[in-house]
Amino acid sequence: MRQIIPAIVLLLLSCVSAQAQDSVNVAVAKASPGSNKFAVYGNAEASYISNSAAKGFGEINFKPIFLWRISPRLFIEAEMEIETGGGSADLGLEYANMCYTVNPYLTLHAGRFLPKFGAYRGRLAEGFINRFSSNPTGFGDGGIGASVETGVGALGALPFGDIKILYDCYVVNGPHLLTDTLNAGQFDYEAYTANNNSLAVGGRIAIVPLAASNLELGFSFQHKAKTGDAGTENENVSLDMQAVDLNWYQNISALQSTLRITGELRHQKTGANAAYLAADGVTKYLFANSPRAWYLSGSLRPALVDNTFFRNLEFAYRYSNYKRPVNAPWGGAAVTSNEFAVDYWLHWNSLIKLAYQSKSDEPKTFYASVVFGF
């Protein structure tokens, strides 16, 4: 029944599409002579890291995004990611998403995509959008929440008067439960293939309640009934995830500045029937596995002043908190992080970031990074 609900929603959306005023032009798009409907955009990032344990230039990221608008209805987007953080050049397919615009209010898509689970991953985490050189604790590697998924989905926006409702729903392979000694109870959120016969169902509903479109509030969820590898004793371990997110900005005339507040809370609960093997290879154990992560970030940019130098400056602060399972091999006490950043914008999508991070389980760290959007 649970996996039928998205199908019902899709069916209803299709009904709407029949009545909606369809302004999508199915004719071949008018293009300039010689144009090929293809473009490459993306960003590159390089960082310097300094703390009491290590100093040096960190990983280099190069992330081209390939966009192909085949027709007004057919669109492909794909991102390749080349990273050096692991000590060698790692090449990955971040996403490859094929989209079909049914009508102005509904787009169907299939492939590997960034699910709208919260607003950080897939949108606000982009190098030229994130004001910091790192992720909030609990939102990056080793954290929680949906990341990249393979499957099908539907998305769109519905205007009602002054407000807009944004929706996404999807059926995907979903996360894989990890059971190795170091990561028992964690999940692989970026698996390329399915690990059993269960699919995950998820979605996000957001509201843009103000006519100025400067506030967005979202609620996301994802459910997978079976997350363990097929045939193993943990196959039937379930995973439920929820997230709420906030994104607001406002020009403040008195300060001649733009204030931006973003935040997100993620929570997930793993089924209580999981059992893991201890390092001795014999003893089995289990633990309550309900981690939670959240962050709140604020930035101020004097974007309305005349002086070009000050106009391109931005000051940001972020607090993040990651409550891990106490008895998990990757768990322990809650991790908190305070981060301060001063950014200088070189272009609308290119900037220099200077950030200082004070994290409860790591040495205090200074980051300097440069991001070029292209």
Partner 1 sequence: MKKILIIFAVFSIVILATSLLTGCYVSAKVANKSGAQLWGENCNRCHNAPAPGELNNDNWDIVGTHMQIRANLTKTDVEKITDFLKSANN
Q: Give the footprint of partner 1 on residues 339-368 (CB under 8 A).
A: 345, 348-349
Backbone angles phi, psi at 79, to 5 degrees: -125, 130
Assess contact for 335 and 137: CB atoms under 8 A: yes
CB of 137 to partner 1, least distance (A): 22
Nearest Cα to 177, choosing from 274, 292, 267, 242? 274
Of 55-63, 68-76, 331-339, 358-366, the window that binds partner 1 (rule: CB under 8 A) is 68-76
221 counts as binding partner 1 under rule CB under 8 A: yes
Binding mask 302-331 for partner 1 (x = CB under 8 A): ------------------------------
Of 44-52, 98-106, 142-150, 292-300, the window that binds partner 1 (rule: CB under 8 A) is 98-106
Distance CA 190, CA 100 (A): 24
Binding partner 1 (rule: CB under 8 A), the pick from 99, 152, 200, 328 is 99
Q: CB under 8 Å to 22, separation ≥6 — which residues?
A: 103, 104
Assess contact for 51 and 69: CB atoms under 8 A: no
Distance CA 230, CA 173 (A): 13
Distance (Å) of CA 142 to CA 80, 180, 182, 278: 21, 14, 11, 20
Of 51-59, 82-90, 99-107, 325-333, the window that binds partner 1 (rule: CB under 8 A) is 99-107
Binding partner 1 (rule: CB under 8 A), the pick from 50, 62, 64, 67 is 67
Binding partner 1 (rule: CB under 8 A), the pick from 42, 49, 77, 234 is 77
49 vs 102, beta carbon nearer partner 1: 102
Assess contact for 340 and 365: CB atoms under 8 A: no
Binding mask 237-256 for partner 1 (x = CB under 8 A): -x-x-x----x-x-------
Quick count: other Cβ atoms within 10 Å of Cβ 272?
A: 12
216 vs 264, beta carbon nearer partner 1: 216
Distance CA 125, CA 127 (A): 6
Assess contact for 63 and 41: CB atoms under 8 A: no
199 counts as binding partner 1 under rule CB under 8 A: no
Q: Using CB under 8 A, which residues numbered 19 to 48 contact partner 1?
A: 19-21, 23-24, 29, 31-32, 35, 37-39, 41
Distance (Å) of CA 349 to CA 223, 341, 344: 35, 17, 11
Assess contact for 177 and 204: CB atoms under 8 A: no
Binding partner 1 (rule: CB under 8 A), the pick from 50, 51, 97, 338 is 97
Of 101-109, 132-140, 177-185, 355-363, the window that binds partner 1 (rule: CB under 8 A) is 101-109
Count the site residues for partner 1 by CB under 8 A.
75
128 counts as binding partner 1 under rule CB under 8 A: yes
187 vs 365, beta carbon nearer partner 1: 187
Binding partner 1 (rule: CB under 8 A), the pick from 47, 61, 107, 135 is 107
Number of residues that this document lists for the chain: 374
CB of 251 to partner 1, least distance (A): 9
Nearest Cα to 239, choosing from 287, 188, 200? 200
Nearest Cα to 333, choosing from 346, 343, 322? 322
CB of 136 to partner 1, least distance (A): 16
Of 123-131, 177-185, 187-195, 355-363, the window that binds partner 1 (rule: CB under 8 A) is 123-131
CB of 288 to partner 1, least distance (A): 17
Q: CB under 8 Å to 215, separation ≥6 — which residues?
A: 208, 209, 247, 248
Dihedral sign, CA of 137, 268, 128, 341?
Answer: negative
239 vs 328, beta carbon nearer partner 1: 239
Q: Using CB under 8 A, which residues numbered 156 to 175 contact partner 1?
A: 156-162, 164-169
